[in-house]
Structure 1
Amino acid sequence: MPVTMINEATHALSIRAGAVSGLIFDMDGTMIDSMPSHAQSWIAFVQQHGIDIDVADLMRRTTGRTGAECMCELFQRDLSFEEAWGFIAIKEQMYRDLFAPVFAEVAGFKQFAAQTLQRGLKLGVGTAGDRHNIAFAMQHLQLAVPPHAIVGGDEGLPGKPEPAIFLEAASRMAIRAGDCIVFEDAPLGIEAARRAGMRAVAICTTHSAEELAGPHVIAAASNYLELIESEFLETLHVATA
């Protein structure tokens, strides 16, 4: 799909309105093309536990929420911290085992990240994934320069659509929330960006641009090659110290 720049008249001004100091990326489905492997691991996990559930619907309702929140939703009861994270450890190991042989970034992410840094912008990660999935992703991505901040879903913060993960990423980068742009592939993440007072770019790997629309969404693209081709970064007014 071509990059959709939202509304030339009014909303396109939001790209240039206000300086931009940093970009915050969700991880799964946004930095890495991992959602098919997550789906496969959920299917294997529910089968292992004899749970009859529509996995696609479960993922629509939970993608962006923390592992503990997802497990409480799956089992339809409150789980202790230890029980919830015990389950998620099993499920996420299944995911990593499935994804490792076919690991792939969302097309153009590493190039886009490098260009982000070259333009003087900070780069953060705000994900509901736990520290093990984060380490797995970073090991495989092999970014030339690590992100300025990484916030994960096992740090005690509420998952998306609550804004806490994105707000913490901005805080760790010492950037005002309004000076950040979030890149997201899921509706709960897009809503979390709105609640954080941040602009957003929809990465349409798992959802359509229409499903990821919002008054704060300034662009939509299938991948980062499209954003590079459209010179998206060049449209931004980068803050100067």
Structure 2
Amino acid sequence: MKFDAPVTLLFDNDGTLLSSMESVVRCWTRWAREFGIGDEEFAAVELHGRPARDIVADLVPAGRVPEALERIERLEVEDVPNGGVVPLPGTAELLASLPEGSWAVVTSATRELAEARLRAVGIEAPLVIAADDITRGKPDPEPYLRAAGKLGAEPGNCVVFEDAPAGLEAGRRAGMRTVGLATTHERGRLRADVVVENLGSVTTQVTDRGVTVVAED
């Protein structure tokens, strides 16, 4: 599928630009044990593509949410140097092809955690919209609309790249076009304009008019 120029590219982080699943599983498993979350209860919760505060609120009593949220944040930030955060195929090549001001990272992680993971794989994003910047996380459209506003882009001219159903829903609700990446979920769960294996299936053409994106399924 071809998304004609000019388009602005909005990327989810974990599962889209990079994979932190090894670190995520390690940290959340430890956190669940510390807070007495049973294996079955923990296994039933969707960890990927949602803000940590929403996940924590599903699992612990309201009075313990601030403490539990602070704990998982510390565990994840401190775990980044331990490995398990790696770039996904095609990420470096695609980002290197984009002009400044044409893209942003839109993540459900906090800014501290998102930037730690981006640094770990050598990505310098021109703009990061993180959980700290919004009041309603994915699947609400607020994160993507905030990014478009910061870049001065019309929602209809934005293309969202996401691996999680909640993120793709956020992009659709924002009135944006969507590319699903089958990196963490089965293709059948990804409702998008086009679904690709990873960013290695995405190419760009940069002209005086702007950026054109081609995603091949």
TM-score by length of 2: 0.84
Q: 1:218: Cα distance to partner? A: 2.6
Unaligned runs of 5+ in 2: 212-217
Change (3 A) 1:94 1:70: farther
- Mapped to 2, the partners of 1:163 and 1:210 lie a distance apart of 22
Unaligned runs of 5+ in 1: 6-11
SS at match of 1:194: helix
Question: Which contiguous aligned blocks of 4+ residues in structure 1 show a shift greater than 6 angstroms?
Answer: none
Deviation by residue 1:109-140 (Cα, 9 ceiling, x = unmatched):
011111122xx770111101112212212212
Greater percentage in strand = 2
- AA in 2 matched with 1:196: A
- Mapped to 1, the partners of 2:22 and 2:11 lie a distance apart of 19
Deviation by residue 1:75-130 (Cα, 9 ceiling, x = unmatched):
1x435774353233234246525xx424310111011111122xx77011110111
- AA in 2 matched with 1:41: C
Contact between 1:30 and 1:205, CA under 8 Å: does it hold in 2?
Answer: yes
Counterpart of 2:215? none
Q: 1:181: Cα distance to partner? A: 0.4
Counterpart mapping for 1:93-112 below 5 A: 93=77, 95-96=79-80, 100-112=82-94
- Mapped to 1, the partners of 2:12 and 2:125 lie a distance apart of 12
Q: 1:222: Cα distance to partner? A: 1.7
Counterpart of 2:214? none
- Mapped to 1, the partners of 2:175 and 2:63 lie a distance apart of 32
Counterpart mapping for 1:218-237 below 5 A: 218-227=193-202, 232-234=203-205
Contact between 1:72 and 1:84, CA under 8 Å: does it hold in 2?
Answer: no
Counterpart of 1:36? 22
- AA in 1 matched with 2:16: T
Match for residue 126 of structure 1 among 106, 111, 118: 106
Contact between 1:182 and 1:200, CA under 8 Å: does it hold in 2?
Answer: yes
Match for residue 83 of structure 1 among 67, 77, 101: 67
Change (3 A) 1:236 1:32: farther
Give the count of matched residue pairs.
210
Q: 1:35: Cα distance to partner? A: 2.2
Match for residue 139 of structure 1 among 115, 119, 141: 119
Task: Give the stretch that moved more between structures: 123-132 or 102-111.
Answer: 102-111
Q: 1:29: Cα distance to partner? A: 0.7
Task: Give the stretch that moved more between structures: 49-58 or 37-46.
Answer: 49-58
Q: 1:155: Cα distance to partner? A: 2.6
Change (3 A) 1:236 1:180: farther
TM-score by length of 1: 0.76
Percent of pairs identical after alignment?
28
- AA in 2 matched with 1:223: N
- AA in 2 matched with 1:37: S
Q: 1:72: Cα distance to partner? A: 0.4
